Chain A
């Protein structure tokens, strides 16, 4: 059974940092591009970051570029999102997902990040 389990969320003050993790199992993690997608409360989905299979290529939208860093450890089947200089508008549920040529096939259950003083 495929599982993606996010962790590391919580309440953080504006300007501070937080690191999310995503533990993958049930599929060959190293064969997949991976991504983070977020959803602000009662809002739509927003793509946050993508990383290649080796980790050598990363992509971000302008809204997080320079503040967020996606990384992976294929030996541990784990995906990470380092979030720095957090803003109130970063408050959202963050999902990790596999990103392949056939779409975002696998999703985690999500982890909540609240940025507030």
Chain B
């Protein structure tokens, strides 16, 4: 089974700061990597799919990159409404999807 390791688990940053979140797979996942945002008390929301494709309606300050086993979500200029927990998800196979443990992002 593919394991997903997200880092850091917790991040505190200031408004306007550039923020980078990481996700590492235990094996090559061929860029089948998504990022989801979950605000407190809400369902998760898709931000980026297949490593670097912005989902409909998602602000352009969010971007994704990576390949092989290492992937990154970047927020170019942190906004107050970005406070949330961010999860990565690998979908390399229809047989097994795996979420990372999440990164909780708060304002400094």
Residues of A within 8 A of B (CB): 33, 35, 37, 44-47, 50, 52, 57, 59, 61, 95, 99, 101-105, 107-110
Main secondary structure on B side of the interface with A: strand
Asked if A108 and B55 sit within 8 Å, CB to CB, the answer is no
**Count of CB-CB pairs between chains A and B under 8 Å:** 60
Interchain CA distance A104-B44 in the complex, whole Å: 9
User: Shortest Cβ distance from A22 into chain B, in angstroms?
Assistant: 12
Classify chain B's interface size: 20 to 34
Question: Which residue, B43, B53, B98, has most C-beta atoms of chain A within 10 A?
Answer: B43
CB-based nearest A residue for B35:
A103
Measured CB to CB, the closest approach of chain B to A111, in angstroms, equals: 11
Beta-carbon contact of B102 and A44 below 8 Å? yes
Given known A33-B94, A44-B101, A61-B96, contact A103–B46 (CB-CB < 8 A): yes
Q: Given A50-B94, A59-B94, answer yes or no on A102-B49 (Cβ-Cβ < 8 Å).
A: yes
